[in-house]
Amino acid sequence: MTTGPAGTGGAAAVERVFREEYGRAVAVLVRVFGDIDIAEEAVQDAFTAALERWPVDGLPPSPAGWIITTGRNRAIDRLRREASRADRHAQAALLHARERPLEEGPVEDDRLRLIFTCCHPALAPAARVALTLRLVGGLTTAEIARAFLVAEPAMAQRLVRAKGKIRDARIPYRVPDEAELPDRLPAVLSVVYLVFNEGYSAGSGDRLVREDLCAEAVRLGRLLARLMPDEPEVLGLLALMLLTESRRPARTGPDGELVVLAEQDRDLWDRGLIAEGLALVRRCLRRGRPGPYQIQAAISAVHSDARDAAATDWGQILRLYDRLTAIAPSPVVALNRAVAVAEVRGPGPALDLVEALVPTLGDFHVLHAVRADLLRRLGRRAEAASAYEAAIAGAGNAAEAAWLERRLRDLGPV
């Protein structure tokens, strides 16, 4: 297929619109048809049509509106054909669509409704998170499988079962009543944070950051904070994302290369986001109900307070990780705590902690990267080289892999 240049309707433009608008389009069409499978298939059909039409006709004035309208029309045409064959499911979806006319303007909480639908207690916790990442974040099955450290076919089956459960149990597409919110909230917060993390450190591709996912996660975090202003973990998550997002301008170099926290130019950090995030952390502290997101936000606040890497209060960070371990232990928390231990007590004690995590996190490339750095600092260069090679092999993102390759080269002959 011949395509025009990016920005004029070529394949690159279609890909950009897909990244930015997939979640919104699916959410709107779920509201229209009352069915996740129909909505997702309609959006996929619309993007297929965009690949055919936009290179010829150019980018429409409202690409998202074009996708939503095209997807709706194609789905209605297909449902009419199926309804004429006495397909009751198609008839019901068509009736639902007639009762709910399409709103082409922005509908602020459509994606939030979809998240709460996906996070219904009837679904297994892992399925809730995976399905929302697929539908709202637009992540591929392979990307979600990497996030969960499971095989892609197993994740595909998990997604199919979750959508079937929503359909068969007739789970409503709405933000739940106030009494129902506490049961849904942990999964909702987990989903929003995973969307942000996939944006901040893309699991695959050439670019380190997917700005669209970061922006969407922050937007959803702000919506949740307005919906539940007295819930400290909601404020904690928003603070964590804002403080992390504040560092994004310094996280990549001129050619898109990764710049790690210790080497970042802190003058490039977004001071407005830092101020907003720190204010939220202080609000959380006044509540006196610490939770995992609040503690992680406090850790990020310590980094934000330091004028440079050398001034970081690693003792305070380690104490916060100790609290986090006490209330929300996990192998990834233990790995992050080991990094703080290395700064406070040295690489030797930290390496002991990391080695104990290998049986659990052996497929996680970040573990090998941390282990490699500790071995390098201990002068065990040959072992460090092997650990860097393992980290490179597991890194799905090209920018991250390139940074690890530079660190491996810096070791010199071993």
- Asked if 177 and 159 count as a contact pair (C-beta separation under 8 A), the reply is no
Check residue 177 and report its DSSP letter: P
- Asked if 251 and 303 count as a contact pair (C-beta separation under 8 A), the reply is no
> Using CA atoms in the order 225, 227, 229, 230, what is the torsion angle rounded to 10 degrees?
-130
Most confident of 140-154, 161-175, 338-352, 394-408: 338-352
pLDDT in tens, 67-90: 999 998 888 888 887 766 555 555
Q: In this structure, what token pair is assigned to residue 58?
A: 């150019």
Lowest-confidence region among 9-18, 21-30, 210-219, 277-286: 9-18
Q: In this structure, what token pair is assigned to residue 209?
A: 């950051």
Report CA torsion sign: 41, 129, 182, 318: negative
pLDDT tops 60 at residue 104? no
pLDDT in tens, 109-122: 677 778 888 888 88
- Asked if 414 and 382 count as a contact pair (C-beta separation under 8 A), the reply is yes
Higher pLDDT, 148 or 83: 148
- The candidate with the shortest Cα–Cα distance to 158, out of 138, 176, 131, is 131
Which alpha helices (DSSP H) does 34-151 contain, by range?
Answer: 36-57, 63-83, 88-99, 110-118, 125-135, 141-148
Most confident of 91-95, 201-205, 257-261: 257-261
All domains of the chain in start order, with CATH: 1-101 (1.10.1740), 109-193 (1.10.10), 229-329 (no CATH), 330-414 (1.25.40.10)
Collapsed DSSP state (helix, strand, coil) of residue 161: helix
Higher pLDDT, 373 or 31: 373
CA distances from 365 to 244, 368, 388, 390, 396 (A): 21, 5, 9, 7, 9
* CA distance linking residue 170 with residue 104, whole number of Å: 26
pLDDT tops 80 at residue 101? no
The pLDDT, as a whole number, for residue 9 is 60
* CA distance linking residue 48 with residue 27, whole number of Å: 18
User: Half-sphere exposure (CA, 13 Å, Cβ side) for 410?
Assistant: 13
**What's the predicted TM-score (pTM) here?**
0.77
Q: In this structure, what token pair is assigned to residue 94?
A: 């068509």
- By residue count, the chain amounts to 414
User: For 211-284, where are the E strands, in sequence order?
Assistant: none
Kind plus residue range of the DSSP H or E element containing 188: helix 181-200
